[in-house]
């Protein structure tokens, strides 16, 4: 084997090792690219100067804000349900100092303030009302206790005196008791569908059935009924009936019937006698009247009715419905119950007069800031290191669209990775077809594309190293593929076609290669230098992303020169006419190119 061939093999092997080493970093470059132009801005322009000043005195926030667009459906409940879902996602990541602002949180805040305002108004009204309720309770119950005590003492004394009266007096008292029972159990319940005639008839009938027939009972009943009818008519109201001293009437009639009571000048003075004796002993006349009116069995319901009638005009309107509960009730807890009920009533009145806002119609048009007919918006602030986790949880629902600078850059990274792959494959296929059409060979285009493909991957590997240590703008990887394949294929075709032409002229392989290198290599180097200097001039820009593009161009042109001006000739030296397979020397590149271009011109002309 010739020394020259050995040297070619060594050059190719060394080049392959370098390319393969660099190429295995190619896929990593997409993860370290810079997608935010502001990170590549020069530090002396006004926006960056202001940013540095703000960061110096305020600090760089370690938080990010995600704008979440939430699509709604036609159901009215979907708004709250979907906002609740987003809120649950934010809470589930348990990020420190994470916050959510959406229509629901704004509504809850407004609704809380509304409730606070309502409660303040209710509390202000309840301050005096609570005190008045307690005062009313103690006044009613103290008076009730006094009346019941007087009632017991009064009727005890009346009955003590009456016990000494003969059988007729006992009948009178018994009849009185039965009459009061009938007033309570029959007359009060059935009024107004009842008369005094029916009341006395029923009372007399009950007496006879229990104690036997008594002419005195019938006579006492008739006299008393006649007197009552003359006073209040045959259908008096329960209050009118109870306001009359029936006991006095019965005893007065008893006196008229028995003429004389031993020990007292007139038996109709028994109640008057007892009544007056209580007055003389200092009893309150108003309370004593009520004690007498409720009868010997101390009818509590009747007492409540009489006391309510006494208090109703001086009681606050809100307390009137609760007078029956507060009267003659020895359990102070009833006051708390009444106060709570009144407080609830006040709140209901306020909310009816000024109803709470709807989530769809918040004050000051706040709803319009978050909601339209199709979408609502939520703003999530979270530490930056939780952003990816939050994004992955949110996008599980097809009606959630999270947006932030980092998310946009993340999506941009995926687009760039996908696009570069498509662009590279498309470029390689089109270039390969073009070379086959122009050269009429197969091995030559394959060898050229292999060299250029490895050069492209190696350039990505070099740019990865640059991006790790510095910063690299993402558009750089877009631009190097057209440069490498564009000028690389042009130089490769120039090299291969010139070699083919020299072989057709009759020169052997070594002579044809020598002539090709002497004529084409200077042309390639000159052209590449011009292209490299022209495209590399981006590096002198003030803006970092323009400098990155310039660096990418220089790397691409440099590796393309090495592949086409150094490595490709060594491959040609080793393979020789094998690069022209399958047509070999029958492939006249000049004629093929002329015919191809003629056909293209004809198609364009048509």
Count of beta carbons in the 10 Å neighbourhood of residue 405: 14
- Mean pLDDT value across residues 54-77: 63
Instruction: Look at residue 248 and tell me if it is in a domain.
Output: yes
Instruction: Look at residue 355 and tell me if it is in a domain.
Output: no
Instruction: Look at residue 402 and tell me if it is in a domain.
Output: no
Is residue 317 domain-shared with residue 422, that is, in the same domain?
A: no
Listed in sequence order, the DSSP H helices in 537-577 are 544-561, 568-575
Share of the chain above pLDDT 90, in %: 4
Structure tokens at 300: 């509590």
Residue 597 buriedness (CB in 10 A; 0-12 / 13-18 / 19+): exposed
What pLDDT sits at residue 448? 84
Specify the range with the lowest mean pLDDT, choosing from 10-14, 297-301, 389-393: 389-393
Share of the chain above pLDDT 70, in %: 79
Instruction: Look at residue 194 and tell me if it is in a domain.
Output: yes
427: pLDDT strictly greater than 90: no
What pLDDT sits at residue 602? 45
Domain count within the chain? 2
Listed in sequence order, the DSSP H helices in 505-542 are 509-536
Q: What are the residues whose beta carbons fall under 8 Å from the beta carbon of 362, sequence distance 6 or more?
A: 103, 106, 107, 110
The three-state secondary structure class of 378 is strand
411 vs 139, more confident: 139
Domain holding 540, by residue range, is 3-45+409-605
Count of beta carbons in the 10 Å neighbourhood of residue 513: 21
> Of 243, 367, 369, nearest to 295 (Cα)?
243
- Contact between 198 and 187 under an 8 Å Cβ cutoff? The reply is no
Structure tokens at 369: 């800031």
Q: Give the predicted TM-score (pTM) of the model.
A: 0.47
Q: What is the pLDDT of residues 242-266, one digit of tens each?
A: 788 888 888 777 777 655 444 445 4
Domain boundary, last residue among 276, 305, 324: 324
pLDDT band at 592 (very low <50, low <70, confident <90, very high): very low
Is residue 430 domain-shared with residue 539, that is, in the same domain?
A: yes
The secondary structure of residue 385, as a DSSP letter, is G
Is residue 185 domain-shared with residue 315, that is, in the same domain?
A: yes
Instruction: Look at residue 376 and tell me if it is in a domain.
Output: no
Instruction: Look at residue 198 and tell me if it is in a domain.
Output: yes
Structure tokens at 177: 């008791």
- Contact between 508 and 577 under an 8 Å Cβ cutoff? The reply is no
What pLDDT sits at residue 17? 93
Measure the CA–CA gap between 205 and 179, rounded to whole angstroms: 11
- Mean pLDDT value across residues 394-413: 70
> Of 442, 434, 476, nearest to 459 (Cα)?
476
What pLDDT sits at residue 562? 92
Domain boundary, last residue among 324, 350, 377: 324
Domain boundary, last residue among 324, 356, 381: 324
Is residue 591 domain-shared with residue 482, that is, in the same domain?
A: yes
Q: What is the pLDDT of residues 373-399, one digit of tens each?
A: 677 777 788 787 777 788 788 877 777
pLDDT band at 516 (very low <50, low <70, confident <90, very high): confident
Is residue 167 domain-shared with residue 288, that is, in the same domain?
A: yes
Is residue 315 domain-shared with residue 414, that is, in the same domain?
A: no
575: pLDDT strictly greater than 50: yes
Instruction: Look at residue 80 and tell me if it is in a domain.
Output: no
403: pLDDT strictly greater than 50: yes
Is residue 320 domain-shared with residue 413, that is, in the same domain?
A: no
Q: What is the CATH number of the domain that holds 485?
A: 1.20.1640.10
What pLDDT sits at residue 261? 43
pLDDT band at 13 (very low <50, low <70, confident <90, very high): very high
Instruction: Look at residue 201 and tell me if it is in a domain.
Output: yes
Is residue 316 domain-shared with residue 424, that is, in the same domain?
A: no
Q: What is the mean pLDDT of the chain?
A: 78
What pLDDT sits at residue 597? 40
589: pLDDT strictly greater than 50: no
Across the beta sheet with 63-71, the strand order is: 99-101, 375-383, 63-71, 400-403
What pLDDT sits at residue 440? 64
């Amino acid at each position: 084997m010739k020394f020259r061939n050995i040297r070619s093999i060594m050059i190719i092997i060394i080049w392959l090792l370098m390319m393969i080493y660099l190429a295995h970093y190619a896929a990593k470059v997409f993860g370290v690219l810079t997608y935010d132009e502001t990170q590549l801005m020069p530090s002396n322009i006004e926006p960056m100067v202001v940013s540095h000043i703000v960061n110096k005195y305020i600090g760089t926030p370690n938080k990010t804000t995600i704008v979440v667009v939430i699509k709604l459906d036609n159901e009215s409940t979907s708004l709250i349900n979907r906002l609740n879902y987003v809120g649950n996602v934010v809470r589930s990541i348990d990020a420190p100092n994470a916050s959510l602002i959406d229509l629901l949180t704004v509504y809850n805040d407004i609704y809380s303030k509304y409730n606070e305002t309502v409660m303040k108004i209710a509390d202000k009204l309840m301050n005096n009302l609570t005190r008045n309720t307690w005062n009313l309770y103690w006044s009613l119950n103290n008076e009730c206790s006094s009346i019941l005590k007087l009632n017991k003492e009064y009727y005890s004394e009346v009955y003590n005196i009456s016990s000494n009266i003969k059988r007729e007096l006992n009948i009178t008292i018994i009849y009185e008791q039965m009459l009061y029972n009938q007033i309570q159990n029959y007359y009060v319940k059935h009024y107004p569908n009842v008369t005094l005639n029916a009341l006395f008839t029923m009372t007399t009938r009950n007496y006879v059935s229990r104690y036997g027939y008594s002419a005195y009972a019938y006579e006492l009943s008739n006299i008393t009924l006649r007197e009552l009818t003359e006073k209040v008519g045959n259908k008096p109201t329960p209050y009118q009936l109870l306001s009359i001293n029936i006991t006095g009437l019965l005893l007065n009639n008893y006196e008229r019937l028995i003429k004389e009571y031993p020990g007292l000048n007139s038996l109709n003075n028994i109640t008057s006698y007892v009544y007056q004796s209580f007055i003389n002993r200092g009893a309150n006349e108003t309370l004593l009247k009520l004690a007498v009116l409720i009868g010997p069995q101390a009818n509590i319901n009747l007492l409540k009715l009489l006391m309510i009638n006494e208090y109703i005009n001086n009681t606050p309107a809100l307390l009137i419905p609760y007078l029956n509960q507060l009267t003659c009730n020895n359990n102070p807890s009833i006051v708390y119950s009444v106060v709570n009920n009144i407080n609830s009533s006040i709140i209901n009145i306020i909310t009816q007069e000024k109803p709470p806002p709807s989530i769809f119609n918040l004050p000051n048009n706040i709803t319009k800031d978050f909601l339209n007919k199709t979408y609502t918006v939520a703003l999530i602030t979270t530490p930056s290191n939780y952003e990816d986790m939050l994004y992955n949880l949110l996008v599980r629902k097809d009606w959630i669209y999270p947006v932030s600078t980092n998310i946009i850059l993340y999506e941009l990274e995926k687009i760039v990775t996908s696009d570069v792959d498509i662009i590279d494959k498309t470029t390689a296929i089109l270039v390969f077809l073009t070379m086959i059409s122009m050269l009429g060979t197969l091995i030559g285009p394959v060898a050229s594309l292999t060299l250029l493909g490895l050069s492209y991957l190696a350039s990505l590997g070099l740019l990865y190293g640059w991006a790790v240590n510095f910063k690299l703008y993402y558009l750089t990887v877009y631009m190097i593929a057209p440069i490498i394949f564009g000028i690389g294929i042009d130089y490769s075709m120039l090299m291969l076609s010139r070699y083919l032409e020299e072989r057709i002229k009759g020169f052997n392989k070594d002579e044809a290669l020598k002539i090709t290198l002497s004529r084409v290599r200077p042309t390639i180097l000159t052209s590449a230098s011009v292209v490299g200097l022209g495209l590399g001039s981006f590096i002198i820009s003030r803006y970092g992303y323009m400098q990155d593009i310039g660096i990418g161009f220089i790397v691409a042109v440099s590796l393309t020169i090495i592949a086409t001006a150094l490595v490709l000739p060594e491959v040609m030296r080793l393979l020789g006419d094998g690069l022209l397979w399958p047509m070999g020397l029958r492939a006249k590149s000049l004629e093929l190119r002329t015919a191809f271009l003629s056909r293209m011109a004809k198609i364009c002309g048509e």
